[in-house]
């Protein structure tokens, strides 16, 4: 994308619009923040963050996928770089290039609640039945993993068959993964973080498209409020 095109893309967003940006800290951890777009001299712009959810220790040499909505209600997405912090809540960024599905992989983690099934089916036979299957609901998802509420604790943490029903586009994605964190929240409710080990490129793209669609829906919902 040319410099003029990226400048035009930034200028198409009105001051005060809701936005989201995914930031990477100096430890390599990525997190998506809701924020408010503030005008500057394009391709630079400011973002205003909530006082109770502030970015910290931002790595300056990483891509920051950004999404908002332009004056005509269309989604605007591009990759930005962190420039400076004006204060604890206002930070300056510079738009760099358009974002495509490939750029979204491993960056965006979107809050979305959809059905998930986690199954463990050992290949080797045993004297007892080691197979199990749990149905639950997702909390958030990215192209590298998913956080979900399950009714029981996973009895095995590796070689898990994961099936997720996504709405936009409507598709069931299948993958193999492992549990990286399990925490009991209350009876029959276990917060379980799963990492994808084997996921086809087609299913990765389906997840990316659903992340985009859900972010667009949430942004429009915030604007209407």
Residue 189 has pLDDT above 90, yes or no: yes
Contact 177, 120 (CB under 8 A): no
- Verify that 81 and 8 share a domain, yes or no: yes
More confident residue, 224 or 149: 149
Task: List all residues 6 or more positions away from 58 whose beta carbon is below 8 Å from its beta carbon.
Answer: 23, 24, 25, 26, 82, 91
What distance in Å separates the CA atoms of residue 96 and residue 223, rounded to the nearest whole number? Answer: 25
Contact 155, 132 (CB under 8 A): yes
- Verify that 150 and 91 share a domain, yes or no: no
pLDDT of residue 223: 58
Residue that terminates a domain, selected from 49, 71, 99: 99
- Verify that 22 and 80 share a domain, yes or no: yes
CATH code of the domain containing 85: 2.30.110.10
Please compute, for residue 118, the number of CA atoms within 13 A of its CA located in the half-sphere on the CB side.
30
- Verify that 114 and 69 share a domain, yes or no: no
Residue 126 has pLDDT above 80, yes or no: no
Tell me which residue range forms the domain holding 66: 3-99
At 12-57, the pLDDT tens digits run 999 999 888 888 888 888 788 889 999 999 999 999 998 887 888 8
When pLDDT is averaged across residues 195-208 and rounded to a whole number, the result is 89
């Amino acid at each position: 994308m040319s410099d003029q095109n990226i400048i035009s893309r930034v200028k198409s967003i009105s001051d005060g619009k809701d936005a989201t940006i995914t930031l990477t800290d100096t430890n390599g951890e990525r997190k998506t923040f809701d924020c408010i777009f503030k005008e500057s001299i394009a391709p630079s712009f400011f973002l205003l963050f909530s006082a109770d959810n502030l970015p910290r220790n931002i790595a300056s040499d990483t891509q920051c996928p950004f999404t908002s909505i332009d004056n005509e209600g269309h989604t605007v997405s591009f990759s930005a770089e962190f420039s400076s912090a004006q204060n604890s809540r206002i930070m300056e960024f510079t738009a760099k290039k358009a974002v495509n599905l490939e750029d979204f992989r491993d960056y965006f983690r979107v809050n979305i609640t959809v059905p998930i099934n986690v199954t463990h089916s050992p290949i080797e036979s045993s004297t007892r039945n080691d197979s199990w299957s749990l149905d639950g609901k997702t909390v958030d998802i990215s192209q590298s993993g998913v956080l979900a509420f399950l009714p029981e604790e996973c009895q095995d943490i590796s070689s898990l068959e994961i099936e997720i029903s996504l709405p936009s586009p409507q598709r069931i994605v299948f993958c193999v993964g492992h549990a990286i964190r399990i925490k009991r929240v209350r009876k029959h409710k276990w917060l379980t973080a799963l990492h994808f080990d084997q996921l086809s490129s087609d299913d990765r793209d389906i997840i990316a498209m659903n992340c985009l669609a859900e972010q667009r829906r949430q942004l429009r919902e915030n604007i209407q409020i």
